Amino acid sequence: MATDNVKLQGLIQQLKKKSIDEKAKIWKRLAVDLERPTRIRRVVNLNRISRFTKENETIIVPGKVLATGNIDHKITVAAFKFSEQAKEKILEKKGECLSIEEIMDKKPKGMRIIG
């Protein structure tokens, strides 16, 4: 648990720095969302992701992705955490599961926050 907290604090600092360096508000918004207490951090189910996204879209979840529901199209999802079942379901549809650090390096255009 302590390791997750150290990792999270490092990620928040990276996001803030990237926001300043690139003048991109999305990274600052993610940092602010991840700074919230665990009990009110976002948890998103696959049925919500499937309902509010389109084929080949890239989204970010500043929290955890859970496996409730099904996903019916290919999508790239970046999140702080994934349940194992959620990962399996996303990969089954040829989608991608990335960490927030990985999505920061890829710099995709048109990504949005869901949660």
> 38 falls in which pLDDT band (50, 70, 90)?
confident
Asked if the model's pLDDT at residue 1 lies above 60, the reply is no
* Sign for the pseudo-dihedral over CA of 82, 88, 92, 97: positive
Q: pLDDT for 13-31, tens place per residue?
A: 999 999 999 898 999 999 9
What's the whole-number mean pLDDT along residues 91-100?
Answer: 94
Query: How far is Cα 2 from Cα 28, in angstroms, rounded to an integer?
Result: 24
Q: What domains are there in the chain, each with its CATH number?
A: 2-113 (3.100.10.10)
- The tokens for 7 are 């990792």
- The tokens for 81 are 């955490």
